[in-house]
Chains A and B, each alone.
Chain A
Amino acid sequence: MKIRIKHILILFWLLILIFRAEVLLNFVVLSAKYFLLFFTNFSEAFQFLDLSLIDPIVSISLFVLIPLVLIFFKKKLNFVKAEINFPVIVLLILFLAFFFTPIITNENPDFQKDLKVTKLLSPFSSVKVIHLKSEERGNNSLGESFRQYKDKIVKPSFDESLIFADEINVTRDQVIYEQKGLIKNIEISKVETEDGEPVIDEKTFFLGTDEFGRDIFTRIIYGARISLLVGTGSVFVSLIIGLAIGFVSGFRGGIIDVIFSRITDLFLAFPVIYLIILILAMFGNSLLSVIFVLGFSGWMSLFKIVKSEVISAKNKDYIVSAGLLGLTKFDILTKEILPVIIVPVLVNIIFQFSNVILAESALSYLGLGSGSSYPSWGTMIESGQQYITKAWWMIFFPGLILILTIFSVNDLGKRLNKLFNPAVR
C-alpha cells in the first residue's frame, strides 16, 4: 500500500485523540467556562484573555478543522491523495509539530521540578507524582475555576503542587515517598484524594530528561517550531532581497549591476559563518536578529539566478510589449517574470531552507542562537555535550532529528529539481 498525505493526517489525528483526550476535554470545559464568565462578569473575562492562550486555541481549532476539511472538501483537496516517501513524511510530521505543539506535548518546555528526582532520566523511565491539595480550594468562584483549567491547558513552567518521587507507599494516614534514597512523608489530608485514596500519577519521559529535569521530547517538539520559524523567516528575507536586487540589477544593468555584483562577490568570498557571528556579536542575538542575519547572508545565489533570468527575459517580445502596454516595473516583475523564474527560485529556496536550519542550530550550539528563552536543537546538543558520559539521550535525539530534517529538506529539493529539469541527474 502506498502512503498518502491523508493517511498521515488521519493517523496523527487519531493518535492525538487517543493520547491527548484529556487536553481536548479540558479545552472544551475551559471554553464553556469562559462562555459563562463572559456573560456573568465581563470585565473579569477580559482580564483572563492573554497571548498565552492563542497558541492552544489556534492549534485546537486547526485540530478540529482537519477532519471537517478532509470530509467536506474531498474533491478540491487533491494534494492529500499524493503519494509520499520517507523524507516527505518527516517534513510533514515537522510541520504538524509546528502547528500542533501545545497539544502534542501538553507540557511547558521549561518545566522543571525536583532536580534530584527528575534530572538526567534515561528514555522511557518514569516517576511517580502526587498532587498537593491546593489551598484556595474554598474559593469556588467561576473565575478561580477558570484559572485552574487554564493552568491545565497553558502549563506553567513551575508547579508547586506537584511532588515527584521514585517510590510511593500509602499507610493509613500518611503518604511515604522516596526521593533518591531520602524518605519523606506527608499527611494524607494535604494530598489530593479520590475516594479516600491519594491520587498517584505516573509520568513517563519517552526520550528522557536533561540536566534540569526538563522533558526532552517536549523540547524537541518546541525546537522544531524554532527551526521552522527561523527557516521560513530568513528564507523569506533572502527571497525579498534576492528578488529586488536581482531584478533591479538585471533590468537596469550598467553601474548598478557592477556594484551589486561586486557586493555579491564579497559576500560569497566571506566565510559566511564568520560574517553571521560578527553581526550577531555586535548587535546582540535574539530570535529576530538571527532570522534577519541568516536571511541577509543567504541572498547571493538567489540574486545570481534572478539576475541571469531577468537578463535573458528582458529583451523577449512579451516583456517588451508588456512594458509598452504601460505595465509598471513592479507589475512586470510579479506578473511576467516571476512565473518564469519560479521553478529555479523554488528549488534554490528549499536548499536555502535546509542551510538556514543547519546554520541556526550551529549558532545555537555556539551560544549565539535565539537565546535561552526558546529551546533549540543546537542548544540541546550543546548542553548535552557536558553530560556526554552520563546521558547519551541528551545529544542523540536532537542530533538525529536534526540530521533527518536536513536530509529530508535536501531530498525534497533534489526531487523538485529533477522534476523540473529532467536533464539534471
Chain B
Amino acid sequence: MNKDLLKALVKRVASSVLTLILLISFLFVLVRLSPGNPTQKFLSADFSPELAQRVTSSFKLDQPIAEQYFNFIVNAVTGDFGISYNYRLPVFTVVWQFLSFTLFFSFLSFFIQLFLSYGLALKAIKKTNGRLDKFLSGSSLVIYATPSFVLGVFLIFIFSAKLDLFPSAGLKSLDFDSFSLPGQIWDYFIHLILPMITLSFAGIAMFYKYLRDNLEEVYRQNFVLNLRASGFKEKTILKKHILPNAARPLISVAGIELGILLGGTLITEVIFGLPGMGRLMMDSIFSRDYPLVVGCAFTAGLLMIITNFIADLLKMKIDKRMIKGLMN
C-alpha cells in the first residue's frame, strides 16, 4: 500500500511539473506571438545601427528561438519576469506585495463559502422539499445567474449610496493611521464586508446546491435504511455515515471552485478598488506594463496548480480508493 502511495505521489508531482512547463511554454508562445517586442520601448530611430544591435542583444533577442525559450523557462522557474515599467521594481517583488491580499481575501471567502453552505445544506436537508429547502434552491439558482460585478454594483448602490452603511471602495479610511488597533481592525472589517458578500455569494450557492444534492442522494441509499432499522440515532447516522460520504466529492469541486474564486477576486478587486493581484493586472494592462501582466498571469496559473495539487493530496488522505484512481 505504501509503495502505491509513493508511486501515486510521484506521478502526481510529475504531472504538476509537466503542467507548469506547459504553462510557461504557453506564456512564451503568447509573448513571442504578440505584436511588437520589448526593445521598442528603448529603441529610437536616431540610434546608430550598432547601438540598436546592442540594445537588442542586451535583451537576448538576437539568439535563436530555442535558446530564448530555454532562457524563458529558467527565468520563470527562478521567478525572474523582468522589471516592471511602472514600479521600477522586479516583477516578483511587486506581485508579492499584492499577492498577500488576494490570497487572504480568496481563502477567507473560500472558508466562508464552505462554512455557510454546509450549515444551510444541513438545515435544508432536515425537511426535504420543505419551505426553507425550496426557498434556498430557488434563490441559489438566481444567485448563480447573477454576475459578480452586477451583484457588487447593486450592493454598492443599496448599502453605500442609499443607506450609507459601508464604504464603497478601498481597504482603509483616509484617517486610518489615527485609529487605535481595534479601530483599525474594525476599519478593515467594514471595508471588506461588501467585497466579501460579492465574492462569496455565487460560491455559496454552488456549494450549497452540490452538498444538498449529495446529501439527498446518500440519504436515499440502502445502508441508511439498514442503519435506521438497526436502531441508530438520526444524529449518529448523519455525523458518522452520511456526512463523510457526501463531503468526499466536494473536495474535487473545491479545487475547481478555487480557480473560479481567483477569477472572481479579480473582478471584485476592480469593483471595490482593493489592492490585490487582479487589480494590479488590470492596471498594468491599461498602462501597458507587459512584464507585470505576464507575471500576474503566471502567478495565477501557479496558484491553481498548487491548489489542485493540495486538493488531490487531501483526496488521497481521505479516500484510499483515489490512489488507485490517480495511478491510471
Residues of A participating in the B interface, judged by any CB pair closer than 8 Å: 262-263, 265-266, 268-275, 277-279, 281-284, 354, 358, 361-362, 365-368, 378, 381, 384-385, 388-389, 392, 395-396, 399, 402-403, 406-407, 410-411, 425
Nearest neighbor of B158 in chain A, beta-carbon distance: A392
Q: Are B259 and A361 in contact (CB under 8 A)?
A: no
* B residues 263-301 in Cβ contact with A at 8 Å: 263, 266-267, 270-271, 281-282, 285-286, 290, 293-294, 296-297, 300-301
B161 at the interface (CB under 8 A from A): yes
Q: Are B263 and A381 in contact (CB under 8 A)?
A: no
Q: Are A399 and B145 in contact (CB under 8 A)?
A: no
- Please give, as numbers and ranges, the residues of chain B lying within 8 Å of A366 by CB-CB distance: 267, 270, 282
Binds A, one of B26-34, B170-178, B184-192: B26-34
In the complex with contacts A271-B262, A366-B282, A402-B147, A266-B19 CB distance below 8 A? yes
Distance between A418 CB and nearest chain B CB, rounded to angstroms: 14
Q: Are A282 and B31 in contact (CB under 8 A)?
A: yes
Bound Cα distance from A284 to B286, whole angstroms: 11
- Please give, as numbers and ranges, the residues of chain A lying within 8 Å of B18 by CB-CB distance: 262
Bound Cα distance from A381 to B282, whole angstroms: 18
The 3 A-B residue pairs whose C-beta atoms are closest, nearest first, are A407-B145, A273-B263, A282-B34
In the complex with contacts A269-B305, A278-B294, A278-B297, A407-B147 CB distance below 8 A? no
Bound Cα distance from A146 to B296, whole angstroms: 56
In the complex with contacts A265-B19, A385-B153, A410-B145, A278-B30 CB distance below 8 A? yes
SS class, residues of chain A in contact with chain B: helix
B232 at the interface (CB under 8 A from A): no
- Interface size class for chain B? 35 or more
- Please give, as numbers and ranges, the residues of chain A lying within 8 Å of B297 by CB-CB distance: 274-275, 277-278
B146 at the interface (CB under 8 A from A): yes
Bound Cα distance from A367 to B271, whole angstroms: 12
Bound Cα distance from A270 to B256, whole angstroms: 10
B213 at the interface (CB under 8 A from A): yes
Q: Are B293 and A281 in contact (CB under 8 A)?
A: yes
Bound Cα distance from A266 to B26, whole angstroms: 9
* B residues 148-183 in Cβ contact with A at 8 Å: 148-150, 153-154, 156-157, 160-161, 168
Q: Are B263 and A272 in contact (CB under 8 A)?
A: yes
Nearest neighbor of B307 in chain A, beta-carbon distance: A269
Q: Are A368 and B285 in contact (CB under 8 A)?
A: yes
In the complex with contacts A278-B293, A368-B285, A395-B153 CB distance below 8 A? yes
16 contacts between A and B (CB under 8 A): A263-B22, A266-B26, A271-B262, A271-B263, A274-B281, A278-B30, A279-B30, A282-B31, A282-B33, A283-B33, A354-B145, A358-B147, A362-B149, A378-B149, A388-B157, A407-B142
Additional 14 contacts, C-beta under 8 A, given A269-B308, A271-B304: A266-B22, A269-B23, A269-B305, A270-B301, A278-B293, A281-B285, A283-B33, A283-B34, A361-B147, A381-B153, A388-B168, A392-B157, A396-B157, A406-B146
In the complex with contacts A381-B149, A395-B157, A282-B30 CB distance below 8 A? yes
In the complex with contacts A362-B267, A406-B145, A277-B153 CB distance below 8 A? no
B231 at the interface (CB under 8 A from A): no
Distance between A11 CB and nearest chain B CB, rounded to angstroms: 25
Bound Cα distance from A392 to B162, whole angstroms: 10
Bound Cα distance from A275 to B262, whole angstroms: 12
Q: Are A271 and B141 in contact (CB under 8 A)?
A: no
B35 at the interface (CB under 8 A from A): yes
Q: Are A403 and B281 in contact (CB under 8 A)?
A: no
Distance between A360 CB and nearest chain B CB, rounded to angstroms: 10
Q: What 0/1 readout, one digit per residue, does chain B (32-51) give for beta carbons within 8 Å of chain A?
A: 01110000000000000000
Nearest neighbor of B293 in chain A, beta-carbon distance: A281
- Please give, as numbers and ranges, the residues of chain B lying within 8 Å of A410 by CB-CB distance: 141, 144-145
Q: Are A403 and B266 in contact (CB under 8 A)?
A: no
Indicate which residue in B281, B294, B301 contacts A269 across the interface (CB closer than 8 Å). Answer: B301
- Please give, as numbers and ranges, the residues of chain A lying within 8 Å of B168 by CB-CB distance: 388
Distance between A74 CB and nearest chain B CB, rounded to angstroms: 36
- Please give, as numbers and ranges, the residues of chain A lying within 8 Å of B30 by CB-CB distance: 278-279, 282
- Please give, as numbers and ranges, the residues of chain A lying within 8 Å of B31 by CB-CB distance: 282
